[in-house]
Amino acid sequence: MVARYERIAAELRDDILRGIHPVGSTLPTDAELAARYSAARGTVRQALSVLVAEGLVGSRQGARRIVLGTSRSQSFAELHSFAQWAGVNGYRFGGEVVRQRRRPPSPAEAERLTTGEVLEVLRLRTLEGEPVMLERTVYAAWIAPAVEGLPADCASVTQALYESTGLVFAYGEHLIDAVAAGSQDARLLGVRRGSPLLRQRRVTTTQEGRPVESSDDRYRAGSVAFSIRNSIGANPLVRQAGDLRFGV
């Protein structure tokens, strides 16, 4: 059973996407929407807060709500799962395990991923037949057996783990920066050594806060970009300084 406010949000989103509420126009007031959907004002406001968080609608006290745009930010699942993102956007995609081995965790990993031997996997991801991303993932010991049971060309690891173990990747922290391609990067992605790559490092946990994996993903430049849409007040992004000692 989907919540009432989610259905209302979905209807309003459809209306915006189909141009019934064009960009720049004002939305109906809380009171009008409450009457139209026979819902309490609080429920309508909850629905609208979803659209505000998605960046579709702008809102300030006293003034009517305004339609800001028609491209919406998408779900965390898509941020986390390459396959899910690619599938939703209609791309043909693939994946292949290049190397996989167990090893004892480094001190930093022991801290992040708890105890036991970790599983290190190197995967090459393709989009429309072209290699676009190199994924170096370290899985926590407790999930390693399930990962080892997957086929080498498993397209969606997230999906496969959900089906085999019911595991849901719930929370994540992501660091995004640019690096030069190393020789392994260059060989597998088919670019020159030193060419720019977009790097996303992430740590993912379950709903209970238990760490699942830590990963270093490198995208070929020009193949993929990250997009963030946000408004004052609602904003999960921060710039972080790296190592400031240049010219080493």
- Binding to DNA (CB under 7 A): which residues in 57-96? 59-65
Would you state the torsion angle of the CA atoms of residues 157, 55, 232, 199, taken in this order, to the nearest 10 degrees? 30
With respect to its own copies, which residue has the nearer C-beta, 57 or 121?
Answer: 57
Residue with tokens 């676009």, as numbered in its chain: 132
Coil/strand/helix, residue 47: helix
Distance CA 150, CA 217 (A): 20
Report the distance separating Cα 52 and Cα 68, nearest Å.
Answer: 9
1 vs 241 by CB, closer to DNA: 1
Amino acid at 22: P
- How many alpha carbons lie under 13 Å from residue 190 in its C-beta half-sphere? 9
Q: In the complex with its own copies, which residue's Cβ is closer, 108 or 151?
A: 108
Among its own copies, DNA, none, partner that 4 touches (CB below 5 to 8 angstroms by kind): DNA
Q: Measured from the CB of residue 58, what is the shortest distance to DNA in angstroms?
A: 9
In the bound state with its own copies, the residue whose beta carbon lies nearer, of 150 and 221, is 221
Query: Interface residues for DNA in 180-209 (CB under 7 A)?
Result: 208
Q: What tokens appear for 67 in the block? A: 């339609």
Residue 4: CB atoms within 10 Å: 16
DSSP string covering 144-159, please?
HHHHHTS-TT-S-HHH
Site track for DNA across 207-236, x = CB under 7 A: -x----------------------------
Residues numbered 27-56 forming contacts with DNA, rule: CB under 7 A: 27, 29-31, 38-43, 45-46, 48
Q: How far is the CB of 150 from its own copies (least distance, A)?
A: 22
Nearest distance from residue 157's CB to DNA, in Å? 22
Q: Using CB under 7 A, list all residues that contact DNA.
A: 1, 3-6, 27, 29-31, 38-43, 45-46, 48, 59-65, 208
